[in-house]
Structure 1
């Protein structure tokens, strides 16, 4: 049976929940994996890493944002597949095993999953929060509304996809994932799995809560750049 290696990359910047994320990565039922934690210049909660240092690959760098941390992890990865895990989120134990089994059996290079939303106390406050889409056209409809339907922490992507799309855009601090998914969808459909395999944490310290104005500006810039190509596809489909 094909048993590809999966690199689970955790970007970390001053997140009090990072130990929860590490444990969820280590506790995956899928055995052929490595956990790569990229410390993106943190000066808080670094002590939470100490119990796990002999079980993870640890990279330390100056603060450069999520895209730069993910790229550092991808460059250091030895896996055939890349899985992103935000430092405040939790992967269900069977997430990697189920996604890889599906992807390898169907020969799919990129999948994302449904997810539940939890609060700062790890209590689920909303179930099945993901948006499903089956085609590039459906994905484009979300993009045209300025909506990113894919949660980054739910994604597993075959590493060779980056040879065609390039890595995450480090000029974008908040919508770097949105841009990459659009590039991937230019190549093929990202398949959405309806089963929730991720717990997405919403809390007061998260960047999407604290930086709404910057996110809005980045999204406007991003959409201005990509909308013409999307509209052209819509006309020609």
Structure 2
């Protein structure tokens, strides 16, 4: 079996779940992968990666946040396709095979998938949590109020980077929302794979749960950048 190389990028900062994330990336049924762990200046839990060092690319850098770690990893990646996995989340074994198959069959440059919500101990809290939309206009309207795309479900062709550029490293929490808006407003179709291929972990140490006020404030700033473009796109497609 041959196919394009997929680079799985795992930004890591002190996270005690990182070994589970790496193990899930290495357990993919699709064979043509590389796993890149970008240590964003960690001071703890690096030892959890010791059993996997021979099977991953482990790259250290000064602390700069998730966007800088993603950009660093993408620059090091050699894959034709890029997938992002947070260090506290898990890819299911058929994640890459299922999503890549969908994209190749449809000529998609970028896609997201459904996902399950799990807790601190890996327990299933809610299956198939991704919000589903009846139309493209409904999806676009939702972007005014929240980000319906879970970043760790996204896979994209590396040509998207050439067209859109890099993640905005000035954004601490909403670099993903900013990037997806830039993709959509550039005219690239954002595909959705209606299958739960990732487990998204909610726990009391996650950045989203600890810094909700800051996340919401930054969301408002990013939304303000693109609100007119988003309204124009909704109007053009008849929403």
Go from structure 1 to structure 2 and tell me whether the alpha carbon gap of 1:102 and 1:2 turns closer, same or farther (over 3 Å shift). Answer: farther
- Taking the aligned partners of 2:92 and 2:134, their CA distance within structure 1 comes to 23
Other-structure match for 2:163: 164
Go from structure 1 to structure 2 and tell me whether the alpha carbon gap of 1:83 and 1:228 turns closer, same or farther (over 3 Å shift). Answer: same
Q: Secondary structure at the match of 2:55?
A: coil
Q: Secondary structure at the match of 2:194?
A: strand
Q: Secondary structure at the match of 1:167?
A: coil
The 5-angstrom pairing of residues 173-212 of structure 1 reads: 173-186=172-185, 187-212=187-212
Question: What RMSD, in angstroms, separates the aligned Cα atoms of the two structures?
Answer: 1.3
Other-structure match for 1:155: 154
Contact 1:134–1:191 (CA under 8 A) maintained in structure 2: no
Q: Secondary structure at the match of 2:11?
A: strand
1:36 paired to 2:29: no
Unmatched tracts of structure 2, length 5 or more: none
TM-score normalised by the chain length of structure 1: 0.96
- Taking the aligned partners of 2:192 and 2:54, their CA distance within structure 1 comes to 34
Other-structure match for 1:87: 87
1:218 paired to 2:211: no
Q: Secondary structure at the match of 2:54?
A: coil
Q: Secondary structure at the match of 2:9?
A: strand
State the 4+ residue runs in structure 1 displaced beyond 4 angstroms. Answer: none
- Taking the aligned partners of 2:225 and 2:2, their CA distance within structure 1 comes to 40
Other-structure match for 2:132: 132
Go from structure 1 to structure 2 and tell me whether the alpha carbon gap of 1:151 and 1:61 turns closer, same or farther (over 3 Å shift). Answer: same
Go from structure 1 to structure 2 and tell me whether the alpha carbon gap of 1:129 and 1:18 turns closer, same or farther (over 3 Å shift). Answer: same
- Taking the aligned partners of 2:188 and 2:79, their CA distance within structure 1 comes to 21
Other-structure match for 1:104: 104
TM-score normalised by the chain length of structure 2: 0.95
Go from structure 1 to structure 2 and tell me whether the alpha carbon gap of 1:14 and 1:134 turns closer, same or farther (over 3 Å shift). Answer: farther
- Taking the aligned partners of 1:236 and 1:193, their CA distance within structure 2 comes to 25
Contact 1:25–1:91 (CA under 8 A) maintained in structure 2: yes
Which of 197-206 and 103-112 deviates more?
103-112
1:77 paired to 2:77: yes
Q: How many residues align?
A: 236
Deviation per CA, 1:107-162, whole angstroms, max 9, x where unpaired?
Answer: 11111110110000100010110012476423321111x21011111111000011
Displacement, 1:66? 0.3
1:227 paired to 2:227: yes
Deviation per CA, 1:15-69, whole angstroms, max 9, x where unpaired?
Answer: 1100000000000011111000000011111110111111101110011000000
1:122 paired to 2:113: no
- Taking the aligned partners of 2:103 and 2:134, their CA distance within structure 1 comes to 15
Other-structure match for 2:14: 14
- Taking the aligned partners of 2:208 and 2:200, their CA distance within structure 1 comes to 13
Displacement, 1:233? 2.4
Contact 1:134–1:189 (CA under 8 A) maintained in structure 2: no
